[in-house]
C-alpha cells in the first residue's frame, strides 16, 4: 500500500469511527482553553479536567489570575506534574495578556509562542480549536502513530507535522488531529499496540510481524 493509499484509508476509517470531534479539554473561552492546553503537557486530559474547576474558582480570567501568587496556583495544579513551572507560566502569561493584549488571547503564532510555557504545539492547538485556523498539532503519541502508519520517517515532531500536512488536505487538519488522538487512546495505544495489533496498523502493513521500532522525537 502506497503512502497516498494509507493516508486515504486512515482518513476514511477515522471519520467513520469518530464523526464528531469534541475538544477533550473542558474550557469556556479562549483563555481557559490556553491554560488547559498548557496544563496538559505530560499529563492526561482527564486529569486536567478534574483540576481546572478548582483553578477557575481561584481565578477564571487573565486579570484575576495575574494577581494570584505562583504558590496559590501551584497548590491547585500540582497533580498535573511540572507544577512549579506550569504555575509560574500561568501567572506570568496572564500578566502579559493583561499588559500587552488587553486581556485577550492573541490569534497568531508569534504572539502565542512568546507567552511563557507556550510552545508551538500548544499554540497550534489554540489556533485550531479557538480560532478555527488550519493546524496539525503533533505530540509524541501522534508522532508515534504517524511513524507506525508509514506517514512519516521524521525523527522530530516538527518533521512529522510537516509530513502530515502534506498527506492530508488542509481543511481536514483540525478534525483529523483530534481523530488521531481519539484512535490512539482507544485502539493504538503506546503499550496496547506495537504496530501489529490495531486495525489501521494491520491494514496498512498486513505483512508486518515484528513490533515497529519508533524513531524517538
Residue 154 has pLDDT above 90, yes or no: no
Last residue of a domain, one of 111, 129, 147: 129
Indicate whether 50 belongs to any domain.
yes
Helix (H, G, I), strand (E, B), or coil: what is residue 198? coil
Question: Which residues are part of the catalytic machinery?
Answer: 121, 139
| Cα 163 from Cα 154, distance rounded (Å) | 8
Whether residue 124 sits in one domain with residue 140? no
Last residue of a domain, one of 100, 129, 158: 129
Indicate whether 214 belongs to any domain.
no
**Residue 129 near residue 30, CB atoms below 8 Å:** no
CA angle 31, 73, 99 (to 5 degrees): 50
Indicate whether 190 belongs to any domain.
yes
Query: How many domains does the chain fold into?
Result: 2
For residues 179-204, give the mean pLDDT. Answer: 94
Lowest mean pLDDT among 38-42, 174-178, 191-195: 191-195
CA angle 44, 199, 19 (to 5 degrees): 65
- Write down the pLDDT at residue 26: 97
Tell me which residue range forms the domain holding 123: 30-129
Terminal C-alpha separation, the chain:
25
Q: Give the pLDDT confidence of 60-75 residue by residue, as tens digits.
A: 999 999 999 999 999 9
| Cα 93 from Cα 91, distance rounded (Å) | 6
In residues, how long is the chain?
Answer: 217
Whether residue 162 sits in one domain with residue 105? no
- CATH number at 164 reads 1.10.1670.10
Whether residue 99 sits in one domain with residue 57? yes
Residue 217 has pLDDT above 60, yes or no: no
- CATH number at 54 reads 1.10.340.30
| Dihedral-angle region of residue 92 (phi above 0 means left; psi in -120 to 50 means alpha; beta otherwise) | alpha
Whether residue 170 sits in one domain with residue 118? no
Amino acid at each position: 500500500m502506497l503512502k497516498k493509499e494509507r493516508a486515504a484509508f486512515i482518513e476514511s476509517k477515522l471519520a467513520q469511527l469518530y464523526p464528531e470531534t469534541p475538544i477533550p479539554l473542558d474550557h469556556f473561552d479562549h483563555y481557559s482553553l490556553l491554560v488547559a492546553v498548557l496544563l496538559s503537557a505530560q499529563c492526561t486530559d482527564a486529569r486536567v479536567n478534574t483540576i481546572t474547576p478548582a483553578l477557575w474558582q481561584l481565578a477564571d480570567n487573565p486579570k484575576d489570575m495575574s494577581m494570584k501568587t505562583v504558590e496559590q496556583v501551584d497548590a491547585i495544579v500540582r497533580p498535573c506534574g511540572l507544577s512549579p513551572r506550569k504555575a509560574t507560566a500561568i501567572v506570568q502569561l496572564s500578566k502579559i495578556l493583561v499588559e500587552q493584549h488587553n486581556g485577550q488571547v492573541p490569534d497568531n503564532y508569534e504572539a502565542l509562542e512568546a507567552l511563557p510555557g507556550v510552545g508551538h504545539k500548544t499554540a497550534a492547538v489554540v489556533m485550531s480549536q479557538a480560532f478555527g485556523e488550519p493546524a496539525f498539532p503533533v505530540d509524541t503519541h501522534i508522532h508515534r502513530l504517524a511513524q507506525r502508519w508509514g506517514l512519516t520517517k521524521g525523527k522530530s515532531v516538527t518533521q512529522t507535522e510537516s509530513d502530515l500536512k502534506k498527506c492530508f488536505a488542509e481543511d481536514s487538519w483540525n478534525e483529523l488531529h483530534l481523530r488521531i488522538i481519539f484512535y490512539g487512546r482507544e485502539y493504538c495505544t503506546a503499550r496496547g499496540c506495537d504496530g501489529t495489533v490495531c486495525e489501521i496498523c494491520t491494514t496498512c502493513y498486513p505483512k508486518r510481524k515484528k513490533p515497529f521500532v519508533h524513531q524517538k522525537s
